[in-house]
Amino acid sequence: MAAGNKTMGATSIKGFITSRKVFPYIFILPFVLSFLIFFLYPIISTIEMSMQSIKGFDSIEFIGLKNYKNLFNRQFFNALSVTARYTFWTILILIPIPLVLANILNSHLTKGGNIFKSALFMPALTSVVMAGLFFKFAFAEQPTALINSIIVSLGGEPFRFLYTKTGAMLVLVLFCTWKWMGVNLIYYMSALKSIPAEIYESADIDGANSIQKFLKITVPSVRPTIIYVLTISVYGGFSMFAESFTLFNGARSPGDIGTTLVGYIYNQGINQNNFGLASAAGLVLLGLVLLINVIQLFLTGSFRKEA
């Protein structure tokens, strides 16, 4: 920008473009363009649409905050509840369990651990749709389907997993656990490597047992990683959509037992062309994610600079 003026007079246009002052602006141009066209404009357009009643492309009417008021409906609150419960359970499982597993692998299996690491990591490579096929058909309602056949052989009754509120949540949470356990395990393992062995040795001399060592040394040392995993889990939980879309073969589910917030936005926006209401729902979702992350960073006392 203005910084390039001095060079401008002295050298040719080519020299100007390749000068040290101008060069970085050319290099960040892809980001600037992408930000303006595919981020800022859509955000502004969402805010605008959230205050409009849009029926087709020609009849647009400003209706103020009415869309937000219309969000107070059962479907929206149901989607909110599904999303919140899903996020809660996935965090409850995927924060502590991989840490315990990583700790065991790290302290007991220094050599053979890599095979297990790789095996647990493989689910993360699979697309949600492909993996969803397994979960959909393994948890199918027929008594012959994988999980039901195990339940039946143990003397139980076949369960209609994908038709009940609890069953649907169970399958969704298991799906998430299966997919992300290995990734979180690897995050924790690389964090554990940076803890100096001497700390554990001196704890041994003081007579600390493994549980004490875990709680007093391991957990505080990997706190930044825990916070990172927590942040991406909140993000992932609240924006979950593809899993539910595959399991229920669409953005709707029987009795909306598995319809998430993004599913609600998709239904209202893409399926029913109700862009105003869907935009309002999207902004509420954005607000929630930011709010939860701010609260979470505040509670964990870490308004650290990530750079």
Partner 1 sequence: MAIQSKTKNNFTTASIIIFFSVVSLIALMPFVFLTLSSFKPGVEMIRNGLSLQLDFENFSLTNYGYLLTDRDGVYMHWYKNSIIITALQTGGGLLLSSMVGYALALYRFKGRNLTFLLVLVVMMVPIEILLLPLYKLSITLKIINTYRGAFLPFLVSMTGIFFFRQYAIGLPKELMEAGRIDGCTEFGIFFKIMMPLMKPAYGAMTILLAMASWNSFVWPLIVMRDTAMQTLPVGLQTMLTPYGNNYNMLMSGAVVAVLPIMLVFLFNQKSFIAGMTAGSVKG
Residue 188 φ/ψ region, left for φ over 0, alpha for ψ in the -120 to 50 degree band, beta for the rest: alpha
Residue 64 φ/ψ region, left for φ over 0, alpha for ψ in the -120 to 50 degree band, beta for the rest: left
For residue 128, the minimal CB distance to partner 1 (Å) is 6
Judged by CB under 8 A, does residue 146 bind partner 1?
yes
Judged by CB under 8 A, does residue 65 bind partner 1?
no
- The answer to whether 279 and 204 have CB atoms below 8 angstroms apart is no
For residue 18, the minimal CB distance to partner 1 (Å) is 4
From residue 19 to residue 58, the character string flagging contacts with partner 1 as x (rule: CB under 8 A) and all else as - is: xxx-xxx-xx-xxx-xx-xxx-xxx-xx--x---------
> Which residues, at least 6 apart from 262, have a Cβ–Cβ distance to it below 8 Å?
239, 240, 241, 285
- The answer to whether 162 and 136 have CB atoms below 8 angstroms apart is yes
For residue 94, the minimal CB distance to partner 1 (Å) is 14
Interacting residue with partner 1 among 181, 222, 226, 257 (CB under 8 A): 181
Judged by CB under 8 A, does residue 125 bind partner 1?
yes
> Which residues, at least 6 apart from 166, have a Cβ–Cβ distance to it below 8 Å?
none
Compare residues 1 and 299 and give the one whose CB is closer to partner 1.
1
Spatial separation of the C-alpha atoms in residues 107 and 197, rounded to whole Å: 10
For residue 115, the minimal CB distance to partner 1 (Å) is 7
Compare residues 125 and 295 and give the one whose CB is closer to partner 1.
125
Residue 166 structure tokens: 């609890």
C-alpha dist (Å) from residue 102 to 7, 188, 227: 56, 6, 16
For residue 72, the minimal CB distance to partner 1 (Å) is 19
| Sites for partner 1 among residues 95-124 (CB under 8 A) | 101, 104-105, 108-109, 112-124
Judged by CB under 8 A, does residue 194 bind partner 1?
no
Interacting residue with partner 1 among 52, 90, 106, 148 (CB under 8 A): 148
Segment near partner 1 (CB under 8 A), from 13-21, 75-83, 197-205, 215-223?
13-21
Question: 3-state class of 59 per DSSP?
Answer: strand
Spatial separation of the C-alpha atoms in residues 255 and 160, rounded to whole Å: 14
Spatial separation of the C-alpha atoms in residues 112 and 23, rounded to whole Å: 49
For residue 101, the minimal CB distance to partner 1 (Å) is 8
Question: For residue 22, how many C-alpha atoms fall within 13 Å in the half-sphere facing its CB?
Answer: 13
For residue 274, the minimal CB distance to partner 1 (Å) is 10
Closest CA to 164 of 83, 267, 253, 263: 253
| Sites for partner 1 among residues 220-279 (CB under 8 A) | 224-225, 228, 232, 235, 238-239, 241-242, 245-246, 249, 262, 265-266, 269-270, 275, 278-279
Interacting residue with partner 1 among 65, 92, 100, 133 (CB under 8 A): 133
Total residues at the site for partner 1 (CB under 8 A)?
100
Judged by CB under 8 A, does residue 7 bind partner 1?
no
